[in-house]
Amino acid sequence: MAVLCSGGDAPGMNAFLRAVVRLGLNRHHRPVYGIRDGYRGLVRAARQVGGDGEALIGLCQDIERQVGNRGLIDAQQCIIQMDHASVSGIMGKGGTILGSARCLEFHKPQVRREVIDLLEKLQIGGLIVCGGDGSLSGARLLAQESNLRIIGVPATIDNDLQFTEMSLGVDTAVHTLVWAVDHFIDTARSHRRVMVLETMGRESGDLARMAALASGAEMVITPESGPMTEPRMRELAQRIEGAMTRGRGHAIVLIAEGVKFEPAQNRNGAYVLRDAFQSYFGREGAPFPDLEVRPSVLGHLQRGGHATPGDCILAARFAEEAWKSLLDPQAKSGITALRYNKVEIVPFGCEDLPERAVHSRAMDTLHDDLANW
Ligand code: ADP
């Protein structure tokens, strides 16, 4: 069995690798191969071997000679036989010890064919792909195009995968955002300011809305609530001004990066919102003409850092389910998912979980009703 991390890194990937390796070695007595740099590592190894039998023997010798940390240290080695020591002390560490990458070539069927041939030659019958939406699309194609058993594991701080309630990394990213709001709020309070903080999340507002609910941020703007127009921005500014009139001193506004504007904007949403709010607060005869709005784009700060216990536990549960499925001859390739607080495998092609949208709307209402307007 082989495992790789692909696409954007997420906290919890290392905890997952540790769990997969330890379960493989301790519980199932199976060797586990780590693939460096996601699909790119597989493509590189496939190219190295090509149709050449001697090159294949050379690759196998390298893998056997440089096991665990020795293989990991050698940046040229794409496939590493993992041992206990190679996953020691990595549980909470952000990022991934195997490295992650984007590999455009993997979109080509011919390149995937080369990778499938390589895995078959190495007698690797199962592949676990830990990553986000794109990585799992690649995994789905590999499952369709081969007899390999493929298990996808959702890992992305965006929580934009509809088939699972939580992906690896989300809990940690929410935790980081709550920490960030706690820091921004000090200045917001002291200077009586409005802070507009832009979160990641791609097309999804889940990260922003979870962070708003957990931090008590006054306002959250998500892509699901529709495009931002001039009248909508005015309405939000009016709401903040109204709260200020009733004695409130500051406001924290979270805006998800996926929010679209009408007309379209080529700047970050936090800056567009700052300008709209600032011009509203500064209008002729406004009650708080000195009210300042400060934007901040939080960026990759959200992707790193020590994984929370919640993510480490979810990683272990995903790893256990992945192994269970891989070793069951009747099971199908699919993706580990958290549904109704149970971990299960969702076969590729059956990923819909319509309740997710309902759940998100309910969270928005809950947040709104808890805010102090
Ligand atoms: P994430 O997994 O974090 O969403 P990307 O969308 O960049 O990140 O995808 C990571 C990698 O997965 C891509 O660089 C590519 O190698 C592979 N991938 C993404 N989409 C596809 C696809 N439709 N077909 C094949 N491979 C894909």
Give per-residue pLDDT as tens, 86-120: 999 999 999 999 999 999 999 999 999 999 999 99
User: Cα separation of 248 and 242, whole Å?
Assistant: 9
Give yes or no for residue 349 having a pLDDT over 90: no
Percent above pLDDT 90 for the chain? 93
- Residue 200 and residue 173 in contact, taking contact as beta carbons nearer than 8 Å: yes
End-to-end alpha-carbon separation of the chain, Å? 54
Using the CB atoms, write b or e for 265-290: b if 16+ within 10 Å: eeebbbebbbebbbebbeeeeeeeee
Residue nearest to atom 10 of ligand 1 (CA): 7
Span of 147-151, 161-165, 317-321 with lowest mean pLDDT: 161-165
pLDDT number for residue 313: 98
* Average pLDDT along the chain: 96
Mean pLDDT of 166-184: 98
Indicate which residue's Cα is closest to atom 9 of ligand 1: 134
Any idea which fold 174-302 has? Rossmann fold (3.40.50)
Give me the residue label for tokens 């064919």: 113
Res 350: pLDDT: 78
Q: How confident is the model at residue 51 (pLDDT cuts 50, 70, 90)?
A: confident
Q: How confident is the model at residue 54 (pLDDT cuts 50, 70, 90)?
A: very high
Report whether residue 141 contacts ligand 1, using a CB cutoff of 6 Å: yes
Mean pLDDT of 326-347: 96
Q: Which helix (H) or strand (E) element contains residue 339? A: strand 334-339
DSSP bridge partners of 80: 34
Cite the active site residues.
Answer: 158
pLDDT at residue 253, rounded to an integer: 98
Confidence of residue 29 (pLDDT cuts 50, 70, 90): very high
Predicted pLDDT of residue 353: 74
Quote the strand ranges of 163-306, DSSP E.
194-199, 219-221, 251-256, 293-297
pLDDT given at position 351: 74
Domain coordinates in residue numbering, the chain: 2-169+307-351, 174-302
pLDDT of 254 over the 80 cut: yes
- In angstroms, the CA 273 to CA 253 distance is 10
Query: Residue 334 has what pLDDT?
Result: 97
Of the pLDDT bands very low, low, confident and very high (cuts 50, 70, 90), residue 371 is confident
pLDDT number for residue 166: 96
| The pLDDT value given to residue 373 | 75
User: What is the reported pLDDT for 319?
Assistant: 98
Amino acid 357: pLDDT? 82
- What's the CA gap between 273 and 194, in Å, rounded? 11
pLDDT score of 60 more than 80: yes
pLDDT of 164 strictly over 90: yes
Name the helix (H) or strand (E) containing 188. helix 170-191
Q: Do 188 and 251 form a contact (C-beta atoms < 8 A)?
A: yes
42 lines ligand 1 (CB under 6 A): no
DSSP 69-105: HHHHH-TT--EEE--TGGGTT-TT-SS-TT-----GG
Tell the residue nearest (CA) to atom 26 of ligand 1: 138
* Residue 35, H or E segment: strand 33-35
> Regarding beta strands 293-297 and 194-199, do their DSSP bridges make them parallel or antiparallel, or are they unpaired?
parallel
pLDDT (0 to 100) of residue 265: 96
Contacting residues for 178 by C-beta, under 8 A, at least 6 apart: 211, 214, 215
Q: Is 245 exposed, middle or buried (0-12, 13-18, 19+ CB in 10 A)?
A: exposed
Q: According to the model, what pLDDT value does residue 352 have?
A: 73
Q: Is 39 in the pocket of ligand 1 (CB under 6 A)?
A: yes
Q: What tens digit of pLDDT does each residue of 63-90 get?
A: 999 999 999 999 899 999 999 999 999 9
- Yes or no: domain 2-169+307-351 corresponds to CATH 3.40.50.450: yes
DSSP state of 186: H
Q: The tokens of 182 are what?
A: 């706690």
Phi, psi (deg, nearest 5) at residue 127: -130, 130
Dihedral pair phi/psi, residue 10, rounded to 5°: -145, 140
pLDDT for 255 beyond 80:
yes
Question: Which of 100, 107, 157, 335 is the best mutation target for the ligand 1 pocket, counting ligand atoms within 8 Å of the beta carbon and taking the most?
Answer: 107
Q: Are the folds of 2-169+307-351 and 174-302 the same? A: yes
Q: Tell me the three state secondary structure of residue 366.
A: helix
**Residue pLDDT, tens place only, 191-213:** 999 999 999 999 999 999 999 99
Give the pLDDT confidence score for residue 356 in this predicted structure: 82
pLDDT at 156 over 90: yes
Tens digit of each residue's pLDDT (9 = 90 or more) over 291-328:
999 999 999 999 999 999 999 999 999 999 999 999 99
Closest atom of ligand 1 to CA, residue 39: 16
pTM: 0.95
